[in-house]
Amino acid sequence: MKNTYSGSCHCGAVRFEADIDLTESTFKCNCSSCTKSRNWLAVVKPDAFRLIAGESSLSDYQYGKKTAHHLFCKHCGVSSFEWGDDQNLGGKFYAVKVACLDNATAAELINAPVTYVDGRHDNYKVAPAEVRHL
Ligand SMILES: [Zn+2]
Q: How far is the CA of 3 from the centre of ligand 1 (A)?
A: 24
This prediction has a pTM of 0.92
Give burial (CB, 10 Å; 0-12/13-18/19+) of 3.
middle
pLDDT digits over 41-98, tens only?
Answer: 999 999 999 999 999 999 999 998 888 999 999 999 999 999 999 887 789 999 999 9
Cβ atoms of 53 and 61 within 8 Å: the answer is no
pLDDT value, residue 26: 96
pLDDT digits over 114-123, tens only?
Answer: 999 998 988 8
Residue percentage of the chain with pLDDT more than 70: 100
**Residue 100, pLDDT above cutoff 80:** yes
Q: How far is the CA of 61 from the centre of ligand 1 (A)?
A: 15
| Mean pLDDT over each residue of the chain, to the nearest integer | 94
**Residue 133, pLDDT above cutoff 90:** no
Residue percentage of the chain with pLDDT more than 90: 80
Q: How far is the CA of 73 from the centre of ligand 1 (A)?
A: 5
Q: How far is the CA of 20 from the centre of ligand 1 (A)?
A: 22
Q: Which residues surround ligand 1, an ion (CB under 5 A)?
A: 9, 11, 13, 73, 75-76
Q: How far is it between the farthest Cα atoms of the chain?
A: 40
- Rounded Cα distance between 127 and 29, Å, is 9
**Residue 125, pLDDT above cutoff 90:** no
Cβ atoms of 17 and 2 within 8 Å: the answer is no
- Rounded Cα distance between 68 and 126, Å, is 20
Q: Which amino acid is at 77?
A: G
